[in-house]
Structure 1
Amino acid sequence: MKKNKIGVIIIAAGYSSRMDGFKPLLKFGNQTAVERVVATYQQAGVDQIILVLGHRADEISPYVKNKPLDLVINEKFAEGMYTSIVKGITQLDESINAFFIHPVDIPLVKPETVKYLIDASDKTCKGVIYPCFFGERGHPPLIHKKYQNLILENKMDGGLKRLLAVYEEDAFNLPLIDEAILMDMDTRSDYETLLAYNAMRAPNLCECYATWDKFKLPENIRSHCAKVKQTAMGLATQLTEKGLKLDLSALRAAALLHDLAKTEKNHAHKGGELLREMGYPTVGDIIADHMDIVMEPDQAVTESEILYLADKFVKNDQLMDLETRKIQMLEFYKDNPIASEKIAKRYLNAELILQKIKRMIE
């Protein structure tokens, strides 16, 4: 439970001079960038949202009309972003204990990331918490209120980054599984990259590998997951070539992360829960099915069925045919009739899935 009151200062005051388009109003699905960032902090449950506008403020303000936020105009926006930060800080409620600084051109940070940062602020005694992805700091930093006056009175060149660097001993780097903290949109190419990222309902490859690191997955499990991913994507490629529509990014992530909770009881369901908590319900559902699955013999092959089958094909990090694996498993559990019954059912389902796939691709 959040102990401190948290605010955010969203900066959307600049010219967008390097972008072919006005950054705050670039679209991500049905939302503009500014709406997306505001919604992120609403979903994360922050206590005060301050939106600082400047250039073309009259065009942005209708998009946030009736939103639960404080709208402020920075008349000095042409002098640089630091003036917008200062303007936003002057609007913070006295009850706010810490605040985020979030430029609108980093629009796809996840609500879960904001929540993790808030949680870290409750647990650490550090004054500045930086979100990090593979060791690189991104946005938004979470800054304790003790820095408010320092920021307001700062006369150094170099902006907020240089000021906070003076207090590096009071900083904490929080590793996160969210590459969007590093993804800004200075150029049209950046925007197109963000659009592709936004279209995914799954962590990308780098985020999957960061997840391995966060959960300290042993090398043998990583190798197994990598081979299952290769096998699953090979099956999926053959199926898509025959016209089947599949969520390949979700399947890839589920294959790489299916044994995330391998050491825990009911690891498939636990792994699914972990991915749902991270904001990926589709991936979580696929993972939850990889040990036991409800077959739909008359329906098209699903991502869950592909992962289920690929996992049965791979022992450790080596491919093996289903019959051989089934015989080995039954031999190992021959003195456990309950386990043997489950194994027989699992491999029957795997064979049924394989038959479904063969009917499609042959």
Structure 2
Amino acid sequence: MVKRITEEECEALFEKYHTPEHVIGHCKAVSHTAVTIGRKLNEQGFALDIDLIKGAGLVHDVARVSDKHWEVGADILESLGYKDEAEIVRVHMTYDFHDFDKLDETDLVCLGDRLVKEDQYVGLNDRIDYIIHKAGNRPEVNKRILQKKAETQKFMKCIEESIGQTIDSLFTKG
């Protein structure tokens, strides 16, 4: 049996590593977003580990107050025996999506992170606008961000074709 982190363990880590409340809200929203998409994909025949998606989403920014928070967070998780969650946390800042036919849990956590601003699902355009604004007037950085946006849009289109609806429609109140 593979060891998966629980919500209670995530809460304990937030407390131990002094994760700010607004970051905890962000982590919960990323987890919810990734799990929602994962469940829809599983309805279409995928076999994604929803517990892994949920846990990794919850703790992806547990060490956000640290420099290189992705490395620190991954090291914490590895030391506790959460190897799969650690692998996702370690790559979430610079992740390149798999080809759609190799889609996995890391893809969904990283996608969730690109669709959530603070503790709200906002979609890709609003999230990327926010990141560009935060980065300031740095042409090379902005070019990379826009390149990631294009890759993310392409990946989202594949998911949307698979689930038969837009990702945004999963999160709009109707």
What is the TM-score when the length of structure 2 is the normalising length?
0.85
Matches within 5 A, 1:217-236: 217-236=19-38
1:167-246 to structure 2, matched below 5 A, reads 199-246=1-48
Aligned to 1:343: 145
Letter in 2 for 1:268: W
How many residue pairs get aligned? The number is 164
- Please give the root-mean-square deviation of Cα atoms over the aligned residues, in Å: 1.7
What 5-or-longer segments of structure 1 have no aligned partner? 1-198
Q: What are structure 2's unaligned runs of at least 5 residues?
A: 165-174
The superposition leaves residues 87-115 of structure 1 with CA deviations (integer Å, 9 ceiling, x where unpaired) of xxxxxxxxxxxxxxxxxxxxxxxxxxxxx
Q: 2:92·2:110 contact (CA, 8 Å) conserved in 1? A: yes
Counterpart in the other structure of 1:277: 79
* Runs of 4 or more consecutive aligned structure 1 residues displaced over 6 Å after TM superposition: none
Q: Match of 1:325?
A: 127
Q: For residue 298 of structure 1, report the CA deviation from its aligned partner.
A: 4.7
CA distance in 2: counterparts of 1:285 and 1:354, whole angstroms: 22
Greater percentage in strand: 1
Residue 172 (structure 2) aligns with: none
For residue 146 of structure 1, what is the aligned residue in structure 2? none
Residue-by-residue CA offset, 1:39-65 (whole Å, 9 max, x unaligned): xxxxxxxxxxxxxxxxxxxxxxxxxxx
Inter-CA distance 350–259: structure 2 relative to 1 (3 Å threshold)? same
Q: Take 1:344 and 1:282, find their aligned partners in 2: how far apart are those partners?
A: 29
Distance 1:209 1:277 in 2: 17
Higher helix share: 2
Amino acid in structure 2 at the alignment position of 1:264: S
Conservation of the 8 A alpha-carbon contact between 2:38 and 2:48: yes
Higher-Rg structure is 1
Q: Secondary structure at the match of 2:109?
A: helix
SS in 2 for 1:233: helix
The answer to whether the Cα contact below 8 Å between 1:254 and 1:287 also exists between their aligned partners in 2 is yes
Q: Give 1:236 deviation, angstroms.
A: 0.8
